[in-house]
Amino acid sequence: GESVGLHLPTLSVQEGDNSIINCAYSNSASDYFIWYKQESGKGPQFIIDIRSNMDKRQGQRVTVLLNKTVKHLSLQIAATQPGDSAVYFCAERKTDSWGKLQFGAGTQVVVTP
Amino acid sequence: EPEVTQTPSHQVTQMGQEVILRCVPISNHLYFYWYRQILGQKVEFLVSFYNNEISEKSEIFDDQFSVERPDGSNFTLKIRSTKLEDSAMYFCASSRDSGETQYFGPGTRLLVL
């Protein structure tokens, strides 16, 4: 079926190292992809997004890569900090939707000192 | 920085009771959304709302659910007769356009006993 999912449920990374979080999607009709960060007890916080006409987009310490050939999305966090510990969700939006976001299952990132 | 706010932060209710969850979207946003997250699961889309009408809804959003924008600032989700399985975190989100970034509120934790 059509779904957005994550490869790794938990990622443990040492402070200062780079983190890579992966996401697979199956709906080729999606035109917009977003990464959200969710800390315990809080709402999803927007990190970065990318449209389907792009392969890469960079923000502050974060980079999103989109590979439409294999329907793969990744989030790279440079120099991971303790404040980066959270659950990270990828989400997709289909071209013909009124903004409905379909979320993946989430990856727990744990930053160790 | 403008943000989406939600009240109450926690709501406990008896099965069969009506609940109203409130949201104040970001002031210049025109599209409004409700999502829910059952404990430990992914975020699920419920409904999108634009120009005082529902523009899209999920299978979860059945006749027991309704949304309303009673004035120029509030956006509400009503559950007419709550069920145990309605227990979840409910998030409101808003965006300037259906294709723009959605910003989420902190959520209301609903517990149905």
> Across the 113 residues of chain B, what is the mean pLDDT of every consecutive 10-residue run?
93 98 96 93 94 94 95 94 97 93 96 98
Domain A4-98+107-112 sits in CATH at: 2.60.40.10
Yes or no, beta carbons of A99 and B107 under 8 Å apart: no
What CA–CA distance (Å, rounded) separates B109 from B106?
10
Note whether B46 and B58 are within 8 A (CB): yes
Structural contact between residues A75 and A90, judged by C-beta atoms closer than 8 angstroms: yes
Q: Tell me which CATH homologous superfamily contains domain B5-112.
A: Immunoglobulins (2.60.40.10)
Please list every residue in chain A whose beta carbon sits closer than 8 Å to the beta carbon of residue B44: 103
Cβ count within 10 A of residue B28 = 8
| Residue A98 confidence class, pLDDT cut points 50, 70, 90 | confident
Task: Work out the average pLDDT over A83-101.
Answer: 90
In this predicted structure, what is the pLDDT of residue B99? Answer: 85
Q: Least CB-CB distance to B98: which of A45, A99, A104?
A: A99
| A24-69 per-position pLDDT tens digit | 987 878 889 999 999 988 899 999 999 999 999 999 999 999 999 9
Which residue has better confidence, A2 or B25? B25
Rg (chain B; Cα; Å)? 13
> Per-residue b/e over B33-68, b at no fewer than 16 CB within 10 Å?
bbbbbeeeebbbbbbbbbeeeebbbbebbeeebebe
CA distance B97 to chain A (A): 8
Residue numbers in B near A91 (CB within 8 A): 43
Cα nearest neighbour of A45 on chain B? B104
A61: nearest Cα among A17, A22, A104, A92: A17
Q: What is the mean pLDDT of residues A68-73?
A: 92
Kindly list the domain boundaries of chain B, sorted by start residue. 5-112
The β-bridge partners of A66 are A73
pLDDT, residue A4, reads 54
Looking at the complex, report in whole angstroms how far the Cα of residue A27 sits from the nearest Cα belonging to chain B. Answer: 17
Helical (H) or strand (E) element with A4: strand A4-6
Q: Name residue A40's beta-bridge partners.
A: none
Residues A13-32 have pLDDT tens digits of 999 999 999 999 878 788 89
The domain ranges of chain A are 4-98+107-112
CA–CA min distance A81, chain B (Å): 23
pLDDT score of B78:
98
